[in-house]
Copies of this chain bind each other. A is one copy, B any other.
């Protein structure tokens, strides 16, 4: 995949320049300096030779099959450069040149034109408006960043070219090796999803790191990311998280789900490790690239200083992992080899005068203990400390020890700097604070949890699809996107939801007739396409127990609403058998522009409106994921039966979420929907759709 892009035999630089300071000069120079193993063909109409290479007016003049062309000519000349490169055989082009989409409509048009050209000819296009790319395996630095990283196992893609330069400089400073570095620019063709797929297959890459500001195609991204994450960890920093989602949404689900929540849900689904800030991006990457994955979340801390040990223990608990004691026999074995003042509880305090041997002894024992899933080794430079030798001991024991992650935290400055370099060189990631080491372990634990998740089996329920098709078609013909209670309930009924028996009544007599049929007590609700919030206008009347009450309620409702909303078209009232009281919850769906249908669950009323206590998941959803949605709300204890109330039927709620998942996957024209309230009783009682509404696309 993307073979021509990353491993070209022949690489042309269109717009190579002889003027130092020019990007076209820098790229050619970097290719030569980096030791690129393929053939380089500089193209520049004004000269015959560049940096000792034969230079051509046109790529075709070289009479070689070009695999990949890097283009640095002015934006207006890019199209022609691509054309001549493709004519010379190029299957991949990298457009460094800026002045496209990012500059406005004219640039956008130019960008669309080159993208279409490449697409039609099955030529892959990286950029435009990017820094270029680096592959350390074949020594190809096809970028204008001067620093060539050493080979390593971290692959990086970045939507910010400038960030690439900072990353390269950081990597050099810390001695971190990279496999690939790819600046993705405007993503006219090649996007993060293509690169994920390509880097998943790259044998050099152990962990994929990405800085992204947007994602091109949400659904495909999730699909690919899910399969890539099963192979190797992907760590992403998504910037722009606070920018409002954009779309002013009319339902609960819409207003509660910002764009960032959708990204969160997508990353969670697909197993992506999310970095909260720039430093954690590489903190996590170093751990994944260098250490085995932990089996569980029990962390043991080894330290020569009490304070930092406490910091680490605090962080382990705050991150939701466990500080368990060592197996007694292991603890005893360590204790006999330490001075009496040493503690062998967790943290294992090897004391301030610990020399390398004491660290080695403790580490060996901890690595052999079944109760330790991951280890943090802390050192502060004290009189008897030998940081360098301690670092080497750690490396030695990790090489020969059991497969558990060991992260180090050598705190200080000049006295530990060479030890930190030794650690990293030896494959032990080192962090400047205990908290950062612990957070990196947490990222590994989370990834392992995702990998070990139950296999995703989405249940398909037998439903009446045709009926829904007919109702939707009717709604589209009506020209209204808001679908009221009556039709929404018909759709839900077709998907096997329990809807109380009832019917539409135009007159009081009809209302009584329906009430007699379904049985008292009944509920009466106004039916009008112009009234969205029925109870706000007195359009809901509960617990009507007799024909006379139905008669009175009908007359009063019609009188009052036609006074309050003189322009509203009143279709009549909906008479429905009143359902038994139970726990009211809200189920909803909002179609994220990027990632598609996002399901929502929350307890009704104030829990949603005031406490914002809701959870989201992307459809399609499994039963297990549906149950997790319930567990992820703070009010979950209420469902389980806190405060003396009976537990509600959680499987019934999970089933309802799965049915909604199926419905909105089957019918993309359902833009939004709410079941509010969905009334759930104890286990065994069928839950009831008390009210529902939908927004349909394809109508104005």
Cβ of A417 within 8 Å of any chain B Cβ, yes or no, is: yes
A305 pairs with B173, CB closer than 8 A: no
Which chain A residues in 139-182 approach chain B with CB under 8 Å?
144, 146-147, 158-163, 165-166, 168-174
Which chain A residues in 198-249 approach chain B with CB under 8 Å?
211, 213, 237, 239-242
B642 pairs with A162, CB closer than 8 A: no
**Could you say which of B144, B166, B311 contacts A381, with CB atoms under 8 Å apart?**
B166
CB distance from A678 to the nearest CB of B (A): 19
Which chain A residues in 635-652 approach chain B with CB under 8 Å?
635, 637-638, 642-643
A162 pairs with B352, CB closer than 8 A: yes
Which chain A residues in 277-324 approach chain B with CB under 8 Å?
277-279, 304-308, 310-311, 313-315, 317-318
In the docked arrangement, what's the CA distance between A213 and B313, Å? 13
**Could you say which of B163, B237, B306 contacts A380, with CB atoms under 8 Å apart?**
B163
Interface segment out of the listed A117-125, A454-462, A609-617: A609-617
B605 pairs with A643, CB closer than 8 A: yes
A166 pairs with B308, CB closer than 8 A: yes
Q: Which residues of B contact A473 (CB under 8 A)?
A: none
Per the CB 8 Å criterion, the residue count for chain A at the interface is 78
Cβ of A400 within 8 Å of any chain B Cβ, yes or no, is: no
B610 pairs with A160, CB closer than 8 A: no
**Could you say which of B146, B147, B278, B634 contacts A434, with CB atoms under 8 Å apart?**
B278
Q: Which residues of B contact A642 (CB under 8 A)?
A: 606, 609-610
A606 pairs with B638, CB closer than 8 A: yes
Cβ of A413 within 8 Å of any chain B Cβ, yes or no, is: yes
Q: Which residues of B contact A144 (CB under 8 A)?
A: 383
Which chain A residues in 611-641 approach chain B with CB under 8 Å?
611-613, 634-635, 637-638
Protomer copies: 2
Q: Which residues of B contact A162 (CB under 8 A)?
A: 304-308, 352, 380, 382
In the docked arrangement, what's the CA distance between A313 and B317, Å? 30
Which chain A residues in 411-469 approach chain B with CB under 8 Å?
411-417, 432-436
B610 pairs with A383, CB closer than 8 A: no
Q: Which residues of B contact A341 (CB under 8 A)?
A: 98, 102-103
Q: Which residues of B contact A237 (CB under 8 A)?
A: 311
Q: Which residues of B contact A434 (CB under 8 A)?
A: 278
Cβ of A581 within 8 Å of any chain B Cβ, yes or no, is: no
Nearest B residue (CB) for A341:
B103
In the docked arrangement, what's the CA distance between A587 and B234, Å? 48
A634 pairs with B611, CB closer than 8 A: yes
A166 pairs with B412, CB closer than 8 A: yes
Q: Which residues of B contact A277 (CB under 8 A)?
A: 311, 315, 433, 435-436
Q: Which residues of B contact A606 (CB under 8 A)?
A: 635, 638, 642-643
Cβ of A566 within 8 Å of any chain B Cβ, yes or no, is: no
Q: Which of A318, A432, A605, A606 has the most CB of B within 10 A?
A: A606
Q: Which residues of B contact A613 (CB under 8 A)?
A: 611
In the docked arrangement, what's the CA distance between A638 and B144, Å? 57
Contact with B along A508-542 (1 / 0, CB 8 A): 00000000000000000000000000000000000
Cβ of A26 within 8 Å of any chain B Cβ, yes or no, is: yes
Question: Are A307 and B380 also in contact (CB < 8 A) when A174-B413, A433-B279 are?
Answer: no
In the docked arrangement, what's the CA distance between A109 and B276, Å? 49
Cβ of A684 within 8 Å of any chain B Cβ, yes or no, is: no
In the docked arrangement, what's the CA distance between A613 and B611, Å? 10
In the docked arrangement, what's the CA distance between A173 and B417, Å? 9
Cβ of A52 within 8 Å of any chain B Cβ, yes or no, is: no
B412 pairs with A643, CB closer than 8 A: no
**Could you say which of B98, B313, B382 contacts A165, with CB atoms under 8 Å apart?**
B382
Nearest B residue (CB) for A640:
B610
Contact with B along A84-103 (1 / 0, CB 8 A): 00000000000000100011
Q: Which residues of B contact A610 (CB under 8 A)?
A: 634-635, 637-638, 642-643
Cβ of A105 within 8 Å of any chain B Cβ, yes or no, is: no
A-B contact pairs, 29 of them (CB 8 A): A26-B383, A98-B341, A102-B341, A146-B383, A160-B306, A163-B307, A163-B380, A163-B411, A165-B381, A166-B305, A166-B308, A166-B412, A169-B416, A173-B412, A173-B417, A174-B413, A213-B310, A239-B307, A241-B314, A241-B318, A242-B313, A242-B318, A277-B311, A277-B315, A277-B436, A278-B308, A278-B411, A278-B434, A610-B642
| Given A278-B432, A611-B635, 13 new contacts (CB under 8 A) | A158-B307, A160-B306, A161-B352, A163-B411, A166-B412, A241-B314, A276-B435, A277-B435, A277-B436, A278-B433, A606-B642, A606-B643, A611-B634
Q: Which residues of A contact B (CB under 8 A)?
A: 21, 23, 26, 98, 102-103, 144, 146-147, 158-163, 165-166, 168-174, 211, 213, 237, 239-242, 276-279, 304-308, 310-311, 313-315, 317-318, 341, 352, 380-383, 411-417, 432-436, 605-606, 609-613, 634-635, 637-638, 642-643
